[in-house]
Amino acid sequence: MGEQFRNNRMPIKFEHTTDRLTRRAGMIIVNEFGNRIELQRSLDAALGLPGSNRGIKASDYIQTLVDMFIDGALSLEDVRSLEWDEAYKTLIERDAYPSSDAIGDWLRRHGGRDGERRLWHAIADVLTLNTDSDLTLDIDTTLIEADKGDATMSYKGIRGYQPLLGIIASNGLIVGSEFRFGNESPQANLARFIRQCERHLPNRITTIRSDSAAYNAEVINECMDRERPLRFTITADQDSAVLGMVSKIPQNEWKRGVNADGTAANWEVAETVHTMEHTKHSFRLAAKRTEDHRQIDLFQGDHYRYWIVATDIPEEELDANGVILFHQQRGEMERLIGELKNYFNLDHLPCGQFDANALYFTTGILAYNIVQLIKQVALGADWMKKSIRTLRYRLFHLSAKVISHARYLIVRIACVPAWFEQFMSAHARLRYAPLAPS
């Protein structure tokens, strides 16, 4: 029966066509967004113009990489896919893309701390489009494995790099980054990094959340010494001083915790006040404890496991249970970092030099932020949790035929009607409507 089925199939004839076809018609959304925010002008102002009129502009290199990140490229060599797509180049009015070798050379020449800093000037211009206030900044590092070049061994025994990131909790925008060697301490220069993030969004960050890397006097003083203190929740080190204070909490002050959905939790919560050496102010410790069912040291005298959060948020605003629940929301940052590394393909860095990889990684952050802002201003709240994979499938990677007429282009898009309507609505908003969250 299988042979009969195969023999009865309709014959297929394959032919090559010179028609201008593209699988990425929806990527014009990215181009329209860049035009509206004058991205090319910001990039050239931040990174400078080439030395001759025949040189390739910094904006051309950066915008090429942005297109590649959003399109899903896996390596610099994938720029050929864009170069060969004549229909797409016609659609966005672009003549050519730089080669992979040219991109690599440019990254090596202009990378490093200075290139990273300059590019962040342009990213900060893009971030001004978002007008949200009273923002919470989540801070964390991530490891990128690399077994070549100048990568170094991290504290986790992985050779690579360890970028530091600052992400806004409510909208997922990355508002600060510092590319670092793998062996650099996660605690290094966090107070300076907080100030960097604040410069990119002036007077709008009111709270920071961090793991125990930020549990040090420098960060706590940075937050509390201000005329208007910066609120914080930081995972506390469980050193002898912290555990000593928690152990002194009377048993009758421990209360059954309440989950975010209002149900009773299987943990208890209480709080105390603490100060550390070299800090100028005391702060609250919100402690969560669960019973430890592992074999207990008979001389330890405690059968609980603890999770302790340091905070300066007033008790009348958030009680100990509220502090724990608020701090647990840092888990969303792990999803966003996973999106950046796995779906923008920043888990792989193309060069063997720190300087080049720093500029490449920061360009990936620009591409990520552009997608987050497109969701806000062109697609709406329902799209904010959707990953770049969904956007590629339903919006960016639309098949189309491009036909030129004397004064205009016809773009015949082949997709389901609902996706076509989504595309047309997003394109119209970016081209004609004010750029504001929809």
Q: Closest Cα partner for 98 from 48, 64, 58?
A: 64
The pLDDT, as a whole number, for residue 299 is 42
pLDDT (average), residues 23-27: 96
The pLDDT, as a whole number, for residue 280 is 87
Confidence bin at 76 (pLDDT 50/70/90): very high
Q: Give pLDDT tens digits for 355-370.
A: 999 999 999 999 999 9
pLDDT (average), residues 189-212: 96
pLDDT (average), residues 221-233: 95
Cβ–Cβ < 8 Å for 370, 126: yes
The pLDDT, as a whole number, for residue 294 is 64
Q: Closest Cα partner for 411 from 397, 400, 396, 398?
A: 400
Confidence bin at 296 (pLDDT 50/70/90): low
Cβ–Cβ < 8 Å for 213, 189: no
The pLDDT, as a whole number, for residue 116 is 97
In Å, how far are 33, 36, 124, 372 from 129, measured between CA atoms?
A: 11, 11, 9, 11
In terms of Cβ atoms closer than 10 Å to its own Cβ (0-12, 13-18, 19+), residue 82 is: buried
pLDDT (average), residues 268-297: 88
Please count the residues of the chain.
Answer: 438
Distance CA 228, CA 203 (A): 11
The pLDDT, as a whole number, for residue 115 is 95
Residue 28 predicted with pLDDT over 90: yes
User: What token pair was written down for 257?
Assistant: 């915790």
Cβ–Cβ < 8 Å for 72, 345: yes
The pLDDT, as a whole number, for residue 298 is 45
Residue 301 predicted with pLDDT over 60: no
H helices of 312-416, where? 320-328, 331-338, 354-374, 388-391
Residue 64 predicted with pLDDT over 90: yes
Confidence bin at 292 (pLDDT 50/70/90): confident
Confidence bin at 389 (pLDDT 50/70/90): very high
The pLDDT, as a whole number, for residue 15 is 87
The pLDDT, as a whole number, for residue 6 is 58
pLDDT (average), residues 14-33: 93
Strand order in the sheet with 283-291: 174-178, 164-168, 135-141, 205-210, 231-235, 304-311, 283-291, 264-274, 255-258
Residue 53 predicted with pLDDT over 90: no
The pLDDT, as a whole number, for residue 55 is 81
Confidence bin at 8 (pLDDT 50/70/90): confident
